[in-house]
Amino acid sequence: MAILFASTRDEHIRTWVPALRQALGPREVVVAPDIPDRRAITHAVVWKPGRDTLANLPNLRAVFSLGAGVDDLLAGELVPNHIPLVRMVDPELTRGMVEYVLLHVLYLYRQVPQYRSAQAGAKWRPLAQPRACEQTVGFLGLGELGLAAARAVAKLGFGVVGFTRTPRQTNGIACLSGADKWPRFLASCDILVCLLPKTPTTLGLLDATALAMLPHGANLISASRGGIVVEPDLLAALASGQLGHAVLDVFEREPLPEDSPLWLHPNITVTPHIAAVTYPATAIESVLENLRRDRAGKPLRHVVDRARGY
């Protein structure tokens, strides 16, 4: 029985491999692409593995993704269809996303972009400041990350509403779902936070039509996956004033090309896909716990539903 570790990031090899070897024993962890005995591999821990890395492993039982999003693994068909794919759910990853959302909700609500631009022109220009309870922050996706972030934002006194694929009861957070509620949800959002997985149904969801349903001058935080926000439509909505400011952590192409108009746009804040990172020190427990469960014949946690795409 051996665990295969496959990642294209040197930093992952430096951190995850010693941690896994310490927890499981040095012989139990094999690092791709050097796989001396393919029959010995029962589980794989992966980040953007090569095309054939997970093929021809006859005793593979499950694949653990180092990322919370698995769209690349599914789109690239990198994990054989019959093998359970488990995504990363880790309290520190969630905490990172909560921090990122809180930081940028306050940044937008307290009009920091406007004050920075006034400062650049040496302009002393106080703006009317609404109260938090007069503002609604809408969460597109109330999963592991969206729900934690929504609860933290609600604690600051903002109105909070969520939108999900299936109807949900969430303590203290109003939640809408279904095509008929979509316009109502968008129309309520002073700040829209996108924490949806990238799937065939969310790809291109935030297009010109959706952005036009937001209140005029609304703000956007996009922190899950590029491609959900249609970038040319976003630029048009900023140009018309329909959208006030966009905080973008994720993009249609990453790294964001140097010549992208998003970089220097005065009403866009760019961060390089760092909203929430996976820390091996805590995330390893999520992998080990599932490994123990599988070896004990218990069901795995956080298995991706391939039909839904998340």
Burial (CB count <10 Å: 0-12, 13-18, 19+), residue 38:
middle
Applying CB under 6 A, the residues found at the interface with ligand NAP are 68-69, 93, 141-146, 163-166, 168, 195-199, 201-202, 223-225, 249-250, 273, 275-276, 310
- For residue 225, the minimal CB distance to ligand NAP (Å) is 4
- Quote the CA–CA distance of 236 and 2 in Å, as a whole number: 52
Evaluated on CA atoms 92, 93, 98, 104, the torsion sign reads positive
CA-to-CA dists, residue 182 to 29, 92, 161, 177, 242, angstroms: 47, 31, 12, 7, 18
Query: Dihedral (C-alpha) 259, 264, 269, 271: value to the nearest 10 degrees?
Result: 40
Is residue 46 a contact partner of residue 54, using CB atoms and an 8 Å limit? yes
12 noted as active-site residue: no
Residue 189: which of 157, 172, 207, 211 has the closest Cα? 211
Tokens standing for residue 153: 């934002």
R_g over Cα of the chain: 21
Instruction: Give the integer Cα–Cα distance in Å for 288 and 134.
Output: 45
Q: Which of 38, 165, 168, 273 is catalytic?
A: 273
Q: Which is nearer to ligand NAP, 65 or 135 (CB)?
A: 65
Min dist. Cβ of residue 3 to ligand NAP (A)? 23
Q: With respect to ligand NAP, which residue has the nearer C-beta, 157 or 178?
A: 178
Identify the active-site residue in 12, 87, 104, 225: 225
Residue showing the smallest CB distance to ligand NAP in the complex: 143
Q: How far is the CB of 205 from ligand NAP (least distance, A)?
A: 7
Kindly report the length of the chain: 310
Q: Is 104 a catalytic residue?
A: no
Which residue, 60 or 256, has its beta carbon nearer to ligand NAP?
A: 256
Beta bridge partners of 137: 160, 191
* CB closer to ligand NAP out of 7 and 199: 199
Of the candidates 178, 181, 175, the one whose C-alpha atom is nearest the C-alpha of residue 162 is 175
Least Å distance, CB 142 to ligand NAP, is 4
Considering beta carbons, is residue 41 or 192 the nearer one to ligand NAP?
Answer: 192
The least CB distance from residue 245 to ligand NAP, in Å, is 18
Residues with a catalytic annotation lie at 225, 273
